[in-house]
Amino acid sequence: MSLVKYHNVDGSTSTIKELISPGRNIGNVSSIIICNTNASSSATVTLYIESNISGQSSQRFNILKSLEIISKSTLFLEGSDIPSFNNSESGYGLYIEVGGSDTLDVLITV
């Protein structure tokens, strides 16, 4: 059985959105769909994993870095496009960073 997580991302509210928090112990992510819902403007997207273990320096690894998704378009990542990562309490979370006027829908299948 697949679990799908849905997120509406609105850059005017927050430019960084936590998609999967550390400690959820989610297995491998099988797909990520990122849809730019803006009718006229491109969106700039950075997708990354980050650890934030108490007392240690944060470690961040980019999956996508400042990728432009044109208006009314969708990016589909699957399989080897998405690295496996430790999602335990001492592991990593999955985050997306967008521009201040960007609006996106993000669907994650695990």
- HEC states along the chain? CCCEEEEEEECCCCCEEEEECCCCCCCCCCEEEEEECCCCCCEEEEEEEEECCCCCCCEEEEEEEEEEECCCCEEEEEHHHCCCCCCCCCCEEEEEEECCCCEEEEEEEC
Q: What is the pLDDT of residue 57?
A: 76
Q: What is the pLDDT of residue 54?
A: 66
pTM recorded for the entire structure: 0.92
22, two tokens:
């550390």
Mean pLDDT per 10-residue interval, the chain, length 110 residues: 83 93 90 96 97 78 97 96 92 95 95
- For tokens 């997120």, the residue is 7
